[in-house]
Homo-oligomer: A and B are copies of this chain.
Amino acid sequence: MPETLSSTSVGLVTPQVARFDTPLMLACGRELPAFELVYETYGTLNETASNAVLICHALSGHHHAAGYHHVDDRKPGWWDAHIGPGKSIDTRRFFVISVNNLGGCHGSTGPSSENPATGRIWGPDFPLMTVTDWVHSQAMLADRLGIQQFAAVVGGSLGGMQVLQWAMTLPERVANATVIAATPRLSAQNIAFNEVARQAIRSDPEFFDGWYSEHQTLPRQGLRLARMVGHITYLSEHSMGARFGRDLRTDSLNYGYDVEFEVESYLRYQGDTFSTRFDANTYLLMTKALDYFDPAGEHDDNLPQALSTASCRFLVVSFSTDWRFAPARSRELVDALLRAGKHVSYANIDSPHGHDAFLLPNERYEAVLGGFMTRIANDVERAAGDHA
């Protein structure tokens, strides 16, 4: 944490835990008997509970979206660029909730939690989650917090898919939906990259069919490779080129397999740090949730029909150099929303940063997201005023 905190930071935050003893029926047909969700909130819920915004996280994300946990944290939450007093998602006006998804590895019930039926950790026995399961569990948290309808549900990448699912599954509980850098379904190439990541983890001899923690080990190499290949898809070819080019780490080529190019060093570092701080079973589960998401598939590939239940206003945002979920995938979604007669705004933001752009500051992105959220805050406050 910086010595002098910016006035646009939410400052120090403390995660909270909500425990649910009501069973959750899952898409896979299994039931989660009880579970905990860890979450953070920023800002204050108004009297009518009409100013709540739900933040949905992506593959390797978690509940810590903004601010700092400790004064000695070097980095703030993953979406601190966009959440805070005066930021796009303005915590002076909104009550923001950010939750770690079920199956995660940051405090919510997941593969590393104890399976009450066995007394062992769940490990690979933890049921596979779908985006719909997450929506239902997040709705239980909203009930607990007394929130009937979210002013907005917001998310990027896999988070954007949760936003879409919220709008379709629980339309009466979503006033506005912001779908960023997402896609209505993964392409064969997207699935292929996920499958390489899964095979890297599952073929690591330290994986032990997912029981690595009972063997006091971790499938580090597998997770490291999965992250390396994932990371390439998060950056654009241009941003990798601009950042690393063909720059050497060494004075000259060493004609061997130690690090030579800067980009090799960067990838190895990304893989190494990730391999000890993220859970392999969670990574597997998250990639499957991505692969499975396909609302149109449940409606004879008719996306407008799948979206027909939604009643909220939509903002869809894509980034020009995102090749993981390219702008064309967002346009598919926008076209389907329009064909379904929905109210939708769309912006394709010029950015050199590929898929990762959704996490980064960007003037036009902030103008678009901030503008949409400001209109919502105005509506909320006007309605609250009428109500008062």
Q: Which residues of A contact B (CB under 8 A)?
A: 27-29, 127-128, 185-189, 191-193, 195-196, 198-200, 202-203, 205, 221, 224-225, 228-229, 232, 235, 237, 240-241, 243-246, 253, 255-257, 260-264, 267-268, 271, 284, 288, 291-292, 294, 297
**Cα–Cα, bound, A261→B194 (Å):** 11
Interface pair B196/A263, CB less than 8 Å apart: no
Give the Cβ gap from A274 to chain B, nearest Cβ, in Å.
13
Q: Is the interface of A mostly helix, strand, loop or mixed?
A: helix
The distance from the CB of A227 to the nearest CB of chain B, in whole angstroms, is: 10
Q: Could you say which of B193, B203, B257 contacts A284, with CB atoms under 8 Å apart?
A: B257
CB <8 Å contact, B196 and A228: yes
Residues of B within 8 A of A128 (CB): 255-256
Known: A203-B225, A255-B127. A237 touches B187 (CB 8 A): yes
Q: Say yes or no: A195 contacts B241, CB within 8 Å.
A: no
A188-B246 CB under 8 A given contacts A127-B255, A267-B196: yes
**Chain B residues closer than 8 Å to A240, beta-carbon distance:** 187-189, 192
- Across the interface, name the chain B residue whose C-beta is closest to A326: B237
B292 engages A257 (CB within 8 Å) = no
- Given that A192-B267, A232-B193 are contacting pairs, would A187 and B255 also be in contact in the complex, using a CB cutoff of 8 Å? no
8 Å CB contact of A229 from B188, B196, B243: B196
Identity of the chain B residue whose Cβ is nearest the Cβ of A263 in the assembled complex: B188
| CB atoms of B271 and A191 under 8 A apart | no
Decide yes or no: A185 and B257 within 8 Å by CB, A196-B267, A229-B229 being known contacts. no
Q: Across the interface, name the chain B residue whose C-beta is closest to A297.
A: B246
Q: Is the CB of B188 within 8 A of A200?
A: no
Closest residue on chain B to residue A30 by CB atoms: B255
Complex Cα distance, B191 from A253, in Å, reads 14
The one of B193, B228, B284 in contact with A195, judged by C-beta atoms closer than 8 angstroms, is B228
